[in-house]
Structure 1
Amino acid sequence: MNSVKELNKWANTHTYLPIDLLRIALGVFLFMKGISFITNIQYLADLISPIDKIGGGMFLIHYIAPAHMVGGIMIVFGLLTRWAIIAQLPILISAIIINFMGEMHSQNLLLALFTLAICVFFLFYGSGKHSADYYFKMQK
């Protein structure tokens, strides 16, 4: 727990507006991806078809889109950013694995790798100074 507090202190003293804009862009991207999956549910079903044989395909369809939408909104506002990103990690790791199990789509693979890298960065960095987390912490 102390290491999280130390990371938050470091992030709050070394925060910059471009990093906050990157966090907001990540949240908007995830939200739009969730909207895309809801509006084209067959595309999502086709994406997860290589791992559907394992089971839980319907659970995945009902987890991925809402997790992207709710997590994206939380990341945009900087509200419980680390928890929202933890919910995104299994989806992004699965997206990378699916590219190797099924048909390889290099654009989807690069997008998933890039998004995963940004999520891991914000997992350690936190939400920064321009966020709801910082605002609520200062209200105490």
Structure 2
Amino acid sequence: MDTIKTLNKWANAHTYIPLDLLRVALGVFLFIKGINFMANTEMLMQLFEPIQNMAGGMIVVHYVAPAHFIGGLLIAFGLLTRWAIIAQFPILIGAIAINFAGEMNSNNLILALITLFVCAFFLLYGSGKHSADYYFKMQQ
């Protein structure tokens, strides 16, 4: 817990608007991907063809869209950012693994890698000073 408090103090002292805009852009991107997966479940099922016969395959399909949808909203507003990003990690690692298990799509692989690295950064950095977390903390 002390590590998180130390990281939050450092992040709030070094908060810059471009980093907050990057966090919002990441949240909006994940939100749009969640809507895209909800609207086009056939495409999502095609992506999961390599792991279709594995146990829990249907659970994974039902986890991806809501996790992107809700996690994207939370990340964009800066509310429970670290928890929302932790929920994204299995999806992003799975997106990278699916590219190697199934048909290689370099665009999807690069997009998943960039998203994973940005999520890893915000896992350490936190939500920053211009976020709902910071606002609620200051209201106490």
Bucket of the pairwise TM-score, normalised by the shorter protein: over 0.9
Question: 2 CA distance for matches of 1:52 and 1:130?
Answer: 41
Opposite residue 115 of structure 1, the aligned amino acid is: T
2:103 counterpart of 1:120: no
Instruction: Give me the identity figure in percent.
Output: 68
For this pair of structures, how many residues does the alignment match?
140
Separation in 2, partners of 1:16, 1:49: 42
Partners in 1 of 2:49 and 2:2 — Cα distance? 42
Q: Once the two structures are superposed, what CA deviation does each residue of 1:5-50 show, in whole Å capped at 9, x if it has no partner?
A: 0000000000000000000000000000001101110100010111
Give the distance between the partners of 1:51 and 1:121, measured in 2 at CA: 29
Specify the SS of the correspondent of 1:7: helix
Deviation at 1:57, TM superposition (A): 1.9
Q: Distance in 1 between matches of 2:89 and 2:135?
A: 26
- Structure 2 Cα separation of the partners of residues 81 and 129 of structure 1: 12
Q: For the aligned residues, what is the CA RMSD?
A: 0.6
- Say if 2:60 is the partner of 1:57: no
Alignment gaps of 5+ in structure 1? none
Q: How far apart in 2 are the matches of 1:42 and 1:97?
A: 20
Aligned-residue offset at 1:60? 1.1
SS at match of 1:10: helix
4+ residue stretches of structure 1 with deviation over 6 A?
Answer: none
Provide TM-score, normalisation by structure 1.
0.98
Deviation at 1:61, TM superposition (A): 1.4
* Counterpart Cα distance in 2 of 1:102 and 1:123: 29
Match of 1:75 in 2: 75
Secondary structure, aligned partner of 1:37: helix
Q: Determine the structure 1 residue equivalent to 2:11.
A: 11
SS where residue 129 of structure 1 aligns? coil
Unaligned runs of 5+ residues in structure 2 are none
Structure 2 residue matching 1:79: 3-state secondary structure? coil
TM-score by length of 2: 0.98
AA of the residue aligned to 1:41: T
